[in-house]
Every structure is written in C-alpha cells, then in structure tokens.
Structure 1
Amino acid sequence: MARKAKEPVKYPGVREKNGRFTYRYSIQSTSKSGRKQKETPSFPTAKEAYEAGIRIKAELLNGVYFEEKDILFDAFADEWLLMYAAPGKVKNSTVDIRRWELKKCSPYFGTKKIGDITKLDYQKMLDDQKKKGAAKNSISLLNTTCKMLFKKAVELGVIKNNPTNGSELPAYTETVEDLENKTDLPHYLERDELSKLLTVIKIQGETQDYNLFFLLAYTGMRIGELAALKAKDINKTEGYISITKTIYMKGKATEFSLNTPKTKSSRREIDITPNVLSVLENQLAWRNEFKMSRRNEYYDKDDFVFVNNKNLPGYPLNIISLDKRFKDYLELAKLPSNLTPHSLRHTHVSLLAEIGIDIETIQERLGHSNAAVTRRIYLHVTKKRKKEASEKFDMLMKDI
C-alpha cells in the first residue's frame, strides 16, 4: 500500500504543544554557533503564532528587534519608539505625541523592570492621573499609547503578561456646575466681527499678517496647510488651491519637514474666488519684494507663499508666534480673547452654513470626512436660520 503523502505545512516555523502554538526563530548570540533559538509566547491558533513570528523576523531584518527581559520601562520605551517610527508609516508629530505620553509614565515606573509592572501598578497610574487633574481624553490617549507599548513587549517575549489588560479608565461624573458651564460649540467669529478684525489688521498690522488671516478665514485651511503652501499650489487659471502637504516643526525653525496631509480626505482642491486670488497675488508680490530686500540671507530652496520675515527670512512661518500676534489683533479690535487662529477655520464653516451651503460640501472643502466639530457649528447656524424663517413666516401671515 502506497504511503500517504505528507501534507504541506501551512504555517512553517510554528510548533504545537498542549493545544497552544508558538513560532520558533533564531537571534544572534555569543555561543559557538553564533545563533540562539527562541520561541514566541504561545497563542491559541497557529495563524496568530505565525504572524507574531513574521513580525519579529521583520524587526530582526530591519534592525529594530529588542531582546532583554530585565530591561527597565524607560529603556524599553525608548526602544519601542524607535520600532514605532522605523517603518515610516506614522508622522513625526504622531511619534512625538507617543513620546510625550510615555514621559508621563516615568514617575510611576520609569526605573522599574518592565516585567515587574503589575496590573495594579498600571491601574493606580491611571487613577492618579485623574487625581492630578488630567482630562478624560488625556488619560484615554495615555492608555492607548501604553497598550501599544505593552502589546509589543508581549509579542517580543520581553514580558509574559500585559498589565494593561483589564484596566479601566477613571470615571468622570459631570456635576450640575459642569453641565451649566459646558459648551460644545467651538469659538468662532460672526460676520461683522470678522470684518472688524480684518479691517484692524489691514490698517494697523503687517501686510503678510492681513493676507494670511484673510486666507484662513476665506478658505478654511488649517494653519499647517497654509504654512506649507507653495506658489505652484495656486492654480490661477482654474481658480483653486491644491492642498497636498502640511508643515511639521520641532525645535528649531530650520528643522522643519513637509508631511502628507492629516487624512486622505485632507488632500483636496479648494476653489477660490477672484477676491481670494487677489489677496494671494498681493502676498506673492509682497514676498518677492521682501526676498529682494533680504536676498543675501533668504532661504530659497522652497518657494513658500508665507514666510518667516524676521530672523530666518524665507523659512516657513513661525506658527507659534501666530497665536501671539492674533491675540494682539483681537485686543486692538476689542474682540474676545479666547479666539485663536484656528477659530478662523470654524468661522469659515459658520459663514458657509449661514449662506446655505450644505454640510457635505463644507466638509469636503475643509478636508473633513466626518467632523463632529464642523457638524455642531453647522447645526447651530442652520438652527438659527430655521428659527428666523419661522418668525418671518409668522410676520407674513399675522393679518390673516
């Protein structure tokens, strides 16, 4: 009788023991052979073990695999950040957010071995964050980052148990005072307030300041998108601006990078009117004149529309200083000081809603696939318009 052919191994490298599956791989060692056999933690299915092993092999190839069971939390956090950023799938700004969140963990168990951190230790940290006044969203972001880190530690075999499993975010119960003072509506300018602000900036401010605040209000662009705008992004013939990038700055203004937009829907073309195009042309004329006045020191590698016009001519706008200048103009115009340059984006939404533009068109213009903030502003403005419509109807029919 012919011997039955051996079935091909569906998941090579996977071993089964007592109904659990592991993946065997090898790493460099100081032994005579120069290699050491390792196994992943056990998984309930062969597929999960195989996928965990493939991830580790990819990390070994990319030089980001880390193997040390007695490593301290802070040291592993540094290594994890390198792994997190290595594939290039996340933006620098996202890596910085993760780094900032992990710094919050250091006072609790930074010098503790990562394998010694218990579920109780982790829950106490979350609860203590609330006692110190951290907002609910802030603790949620911290928890998300920690879950990613400890999950990777388990996958690498650095720890056996994930201390974040089963953790609960602290409960936040709203008081009567909270409900009375709460407002879900973001700050924005009414039409007459925007007109007043822009008039003050035009008369008392700098040319570039007027042009950039005008553009933010009339296009709804994000500040990072405006700072990254280049002359080639302006299509004068067909009347639109292409949004293909956003600026990222960390530390020195000269150490900037151009990143892809925030989301897929953020890549868009914003239609502009002759009025907006006129302001853009005015900005380019001002920029070219400024460039000639500082040509010996002007940064000319990127053709930015809005530029640093102080100590680093030609480099991107100093976005941080925009907020301070905006506050100064608000004070001159005697307008609320709780507004920011980003409020002009909200203002753009409110004005479009006021003239009857539908929510889908507004979201597309702003590069939002589904923005709760945009929807809240839209519903607030249209609710007011609907109420005015009913009042006008009553006035029309009052003599009947």
Structure 2
Amino acid sequence: MQLKPIVKRNAKGIWCCRLYLGRDFSGKLIQPYTSFSAATTEEEAQAMAELWAAHLTADGKVKSTNLVQLLCEYTELKRRNGASPNTIRQYQSFVKNHILKYLPRATVDTLVPADFTAFEQQLLKPREDGGAGLSRNTVINVHQFLRSAYNYFVASGICSINPLFNVAKPSQERHEAVSMEEWGFAEIDKAITGVLDKSFTAQEYSFETVYAFAAWLALKTGMRCGEVCALRRQDVNHMQRYIHVSGTVIEEPRRQPYRRDVTKGRRHRNVSITDADLALIDRYSQLQGKRMGVAIKGATPLVSVTGAFMRPTKVSSAFTALRRSLELPAGITFHTLRHTHASWCLANGVDLKTLSERLGHADEATTLRIYAHVLPGRDRAAAEAFETAAKRVTQTFNSAP
C-alpha cells in the first residue's frame, strides 16, 4: 500500500496522482486516480494530492468530510504557503466563531447553495434576533474565504463542485476614508512637533518622543502603522531623499513583535520626502543614537525605545491618548493620519497613479474606491457648468427685443 502520494504530469501536461491501496476482496487492484488541473507547480500539486489522499477510504473512495476539519487543514496549508499571521487569525476566527457554530456537522460534499445562503443570512441577522450581527463587509470576507477554500477542495478532488459560485454575496458597504479637517490637522501637528521640539531641545529620548515621531512619520508619508513600526535606519535614503517601505511589524500571542519583510500590499515602495522631512529624521536619529543605550545598527528600528520592534497596537493607542487630550473627535485614529495624507495629496493635484504607488495599494482602483469623494474638480466643474448655462440663457432672453 502506497502511503505518500507521488505526483507527475500526464500526457496532457496536467499534474496527476495514482495511489495503490492494495486489492479488494475479489483480488482487483485498488488504484484511485485524480488530476489537479489548477496546480501550476509540483509543490501545489503535491499539497493537493496529500489532501486528497488523506480523505480516501480503504476502497479508494473519497469519504464524507467534515467542513470544519477541512477548513482547519486549508488554513494550515495557507499558513505554510506564506499567508500573513493576520490573515490566518482572521480565517481561524471565521471557523471558530461562525462556521463551527452554525455548520458544525456539515460535510463539504453535501452542502448546497441554499445552505450557504441561509448561513450568510444568519451572520447578517442582528444579535437581538438571534443572529451574529456581522456587517455586510465581514460576511463578504467569510464568503470569499469559503469560496477560495472550496476552489481548493474541488482542485484536490475532495468534492466535485463549488456551491459558493451560486451564492449571492451581500452588497459591499462603502465607507469614506475619514481624514482630519484643517483645524484638527493644525492641533495634531502642533502637538506632535511640540513634543519633538521639546525632546530635541532637552536632549531627552522617551516613549513620548517615539510615539510623536511615529505619528509625524505617518502624517508626512501616509505609511501604515505596522510599516512605520518596521522602519529601520537603513531604510532612509539620504542621497535620493526617500524612505524604502519593505516590511511591517507583526503581533502574535505569546511572542515578541517581529518584522515581516512584506507589506500589506505585498509591494515594496519608495516614498519621497522633502529636505525638511529628512532634517527632522536626522535630528531624531541622532537623539536616538545618543540616548537609547544600545548599539545602533542599520537594522535598528527608528520607532523603538529599547532597540526592539514596538507593537503597532501600543503606538496606535498612544496616538488615541493624544487625540483625547486635545479633545478631538473620537473617529480620529492613527490610521486617520494615513487617510489625511492621502486626501490632502489628492485635493492638491497629486494624480491617482502616483498616490496609489505612494500608499502601496494593489492598484489604482483601490485608491479610487477609498478616496473618490475627495477627488478635486467634480463638484466645482458642475457649479461652473451650471453658471455658464445660466448666463447663456439669461443673455439670450434678456437681449431679446
């Protein structure tokens, strides 16, 4: 009996696998076979083959498989293939809090579109009515997780069809990015630069200094909090005046925060800075080098008190405390600094492609979806068009004899 499946290409160039499970009661060889048309590499085909083989019965048939168990296996496979810890935690939360609750004994080969439609409606139903009370966007994420998992199950030969193809997911909720108005910006900017100026003058380096610098950096560059925390001294390019954004800081339970050399958008980017920005970064770096008390290297984080990477949640919470002290609206968070940077860039003529690259978005469509409401000129053009038409009509009729 063959224990480990071995994949190879068939005559059509498609990865396939045949297992040898012995003989049945009549002496006939048990040789289940399947192909993996979705696999593009031997590694992908091997992973699919192992999942398929793990769920075969002794007679070579795919046994009835529990949805929760298979989703756990799929999540682990995604983790091994490099999915971010945040993505894995989200998948695990979907399985534990929702799928296990509403579909605990369901099997992948018996569920139909109506089952998943009812499941998603239960997730959308308010809690006071016995549902999960999730937002439409969260349910869309659950839907996409299940759909991707089923694609993999079909490709691996676990089931024959993906029922999620025929399930209508909820319509997406559109949320405008919250950015600070001019008065709020002035208050925040004054507070941040005030802390930094005080630290530079007194030559004191503290948590307050680091938190202020992190907020200043996000406001000036539009970087995400995790990216700000991952910034190293070697990432600041003095000759060409840019910051190289190439990683993010990850937080996991019972583990020190660490740098992952990939951003949320999975794209490294260079964010240009001005001479004035560079001068402040240099002053901060010099103060850090004098006062931190550890050997400074190129890989030393800029946002750090001890030389280790700081937790983004701590940095974000510190900004929230600053916002409260200034009595600014509760909706302003650390991420608002990024939105403010982006909104002000757009409002002052920065083109969509440049801004998309600066923010590290996957594409321009993402930037447009988030910031379309601040694109300049649309409403102004409407007002000018109406004025032109009104003048034309007025002049025509007023000049009539």
**Normalising to structure 2: TM-score of the pair?**
0.73
Q: Is the 8 A contact 2:48 2:155 kept in 1?
A: no
1:252/1:117 CA distance change after superposition, 3 Å: same
Shift of 1:281: 1.7
**Alignment partner, residue 4 of structure 1:** none
RMSD over aligned Cα, in angstroms?
3.9
Query: What is the SS of the residue equivalent to 2:243?
Result: strand
Q: Is the 8 A contact 2:248 2:261 kept in 1?
A: yes
Q: Bigger CA drift: 223-232 or 237-246? A: 237-246
**Alignment partner, residue 330 of structure 1:** 323
Q: Is the 8 A contact 2:249 2:257 kept in 1?
A: no
Shift of 1:55: 7.7
Distance across 2 between alignment mates of 1:223 and 1:184:
20
Distance across 2 between alignment mates of 1:171 and 1:366:
26
1:27/1:124 CA distance change after superposition, 3 Å: farther
2:237 to 229, 235, 238: 235
2:339 to 336, 343, 346: 346
Residue deviations 1:259-280 (CA, integer Å, cap 9, x gap): 322336x422111112211221
Q: Is the 8 A contact 1:77 1:102 kept in 2?
A: yes
2:215 to 213, 229, 238: 213
Shift of 1:25: 0.9
Shift of 1:253: 5.1
Shift of 1:71: 3.6
Q: Is the 8 A contact 1:300 1:314 kept in 2?
A: no
Distance across 1 between alignment mates of 2:71 and 2:174:
37
Identity %: 18
Shift of 1:149: 2.0
* Aligned residue runs from structure 1 range 1-400, under 5 A: 10-11=11-12, 25-26=18-19, 37-40=31-34, 57-59=45-47, 66-68=54-56, 69-88=63-82, 90-103=83-96, 104-131=98-125, 132=131, 133-170=133-170, 184-203=175-194, 206-252=208-254, 254-263=256-265, 266-292=267-293, 295=294, 302-307=299-304, 309=305, 313-368=306-361, 369-373=363-367, 377=371, 380=374, 382-383=376-377, 386=380
Q: Is the 8 A contact 1:40 1:155 kept in 2?
A: no
Q: Is the 8 A contact 1:227 1:306 kept in 2?
A: yes
Distance across 1 between alignment mates of 2:328 and 2:14:
68
Distance across 2 between alignment mates of 1:198 and 1:155:
53
Distance across 2 between alignment mates of 1:146 and 1:299:
46
1:255/1:262 CA distance change after superposition, 3 Å: closer
Q: Is the 8 A contact 2:180 2:336 kept in 1?
A: yes
Q: Bigger CA drift: 377-386 or 141-150? A: 377-386
Query: What is the SS of the residue equivalent to 2:249?
Result: strand
Q: Which amino acid aligns with 2:100?
A: S
Residue deviations 1:211-233 (CA, integer Å, cap 9, x gap): 11111111111222211111111
Q: How many residue pairs are counted as aligned between the two chains?
A: 349
Shift of 1:240: 1.2
Shift of 1:304: 0.9
Residue deviations 1:358-393 (CA, integer Å, cap 9, x gap): 333322322233144556646526249947x96xx9
1:301/1:108 CA distance change after superposition, 3 Å: farther
Any unmatched runs of 5+ in structure 2?
A: 1-9, 57-62, 126-130, 197-207, 389-401
Shift of 1:338: 0.3
Shift of 1:30: 10
Q: Is the 8 A contact 1:188 1:347 kept in 2?
A: yes
Q: Which amino acid aligns with 1:281?
A: D
Q: Which amino acid aligns with 1:303?
A: T
Shift of 1:347: 1.0
Shift of 1:248: 2.2
Shift of 1:151: 2.9
